Structure 1
């Protein structure tokens, strides 16, 4: 027997086992989420421990209050059937929503800044313009509750108007026409008032008095401002105050009491005037009125308003 026939072939069979499943890490994600939630919880608890007890009560009241009540105010109990408490679409607390009073205060602040800027601009114009600089002693600027006031006062040797009339002197015309365009730079309206001293007309108060004279002078100042380039719709009112508001109360006959007062009205003053004008009954028909006649220049006593 040959060697090939007698040799034995040995075959080893190995049973292949099942492969082990890959390890799953989903539990790690869940654990991480849990730890994050716990950290956030303890962080909130720590922050609440720093809040004073009175503030904690306010916070608790906020979460117990319906959403619409927290925003607009009202009863603290919600009787509605909506899913969102109070039916409001926002969760912004009332304290974070600008109230009407806050908006009004902000508008007043911007109005004050605008008028203050106009005051600085006029002061700079007076210093740089040769015409206005010459009359610097007769120009007074100050802030009043109604707005920025520009007063042009009389001097004994340099009156603004002809004696006993509303005829504008040449130098006052130049001053008003230089100021007119400046008032166009802001949207605020203008109020113009005329003032006289306490000296009365010799003919008394029946025909033509200081009241008519002061009103005519205020209107004459309006005409010069408009002629200088100021927009006429900016005029809110024309006043004739005679000697009722003296600049020097101890000396009502002083020359400085004769003046033109121009007030650049602030927002609240304009609203107040508009409400006063709207308070009366509406007028549906006006009869034709006669054309006003020019007031005569009447003699007065010693001084000239």
Structure 2
């Protein structure tokens, strides 16, 4: 029976028809393009690594080793500029600043130019101050009326310019006690100085000083501060009356007894004085910030000693 069943089993014949390949689409082209791009980027990276110095490699490595350091610790970083990497210039190990390679040379050149301008301005001022000092000395010595007061007129060249101090004398006070009215001889001195300064381009600073004797109503009322300022301003009016342009005055200050000429003798008459400073252009820039010449800061002591009581 078993052999009969095998004989009756149908025989199935499978026929495979061979034909052309079916269409695959263009996905492989995209994959191949990505592969080629990756290979180009790889070879470009290898070329850059081969041509980069050890210092540059170190700078790049330090940046990427702690990219959140600036954000966590504070300070300026990549987000504060248009540049991806901080620093710049020829050395990538420098992590501060955002400078082009040529910036340091430009800054050095500008600094050199500013120093040259400053030196030239100082030279021109020195040429003016010496003749001006001699001119004022000549005016005083050649005028018989002023010559007798020459001991009260002191000329000195300072870093800020020519300082002309008119100091008080117990026998010949410049002002009455507690008054800002100019005495006649003081008026003559100021007007001669004003005439001499009328042709000078430099700005003028006027400071008023008193001795340490307390005045009148004391600290809460009219004091040595107001008195020294009023005397300095009265001196300014006399200089202007002599022909000196009013716009030449850069500052009128009352300093009371804050800067004594003789600290060991705070009540000495010489502490009562008017100080006129013909300022250099450098001192003028320090005081006014006019931008004429680059300068450093101005000290209070050099600013001038002035006042009278």
TM bin, normalised by shorter chain, reads 0.5 to 0.7
Indicate the residue corresponding to 1:170 in structure 2: 184
Which runs of structure 1 show a deviation greater than 6 angstroms over 4 or more consecutive aligned residues?
Answer: none
Q: Which one of the candidate residues 120, 136, 145 is aligned to 2:134?
A: 120
Do residues 194 (structure 1) and 208 (structure 2) align?
yes
**What SS class does the counterpart of residue 261 from structure 2 fall into?**
coil
Counterparts of 1:257 and 1:184, CA distance in 2: 28
Structure-1 residue corresponding to 2:268: 254
Deviations 1:48-90 (A, max 9, x none): xxxxxxxxxxxxxxxxxxxxxxxxxx97xxxxxxxxxxxxxxx
1:92-241 aligned within 5 A: 99-241=113-255
User: Does the CA contact (< 8 Å) of 1:213 and 1:240 recur in 2?
Assistant: yes
Tell me the distance in 1 between the aligned counterparts of 2:198 and 2:240: 10
Displacement of 1:201: 2.0
| C-alpha distance in 1 between matches for 2:148 and 2:125 | 30
- Deviation string 1:103-140 (CA, Å, 9 cap, x unpaired) is 32122111112111111111111111223212101000
Instruction: Output the CA distance in 2 between the equivalents of 1:204 and 1:233.
Output: 33
Report Cα offsets for 1:20-43 as digits up to 9, x if no partner. Answer: xxxxxxxxxxxxxxxxxxxxxxxx
Unaligned runs of 5+ in 2: 1-88, 91-107, 292-307
SS at match of 1:148: strand
1:23: which partner in 2?
Answer: none
8 Å CA contact retained: 2:204, 2:279: yes
Q: Within 5 Å, give how 1:35-54 maps onto structure 2.
A: none
- Please report the TM-score for the alignment, with normalisation by the length of structure 2: 0.57
Residues 163-221 of structure 1: per-residue CA shift (max 9 Å, x gap): 10101111101111111011122200100001100000242211100000000000000
Give the RMSD, CA atoms, in angstroms.
Answer: 2.3
Name the structure 2 match of 1:15: none
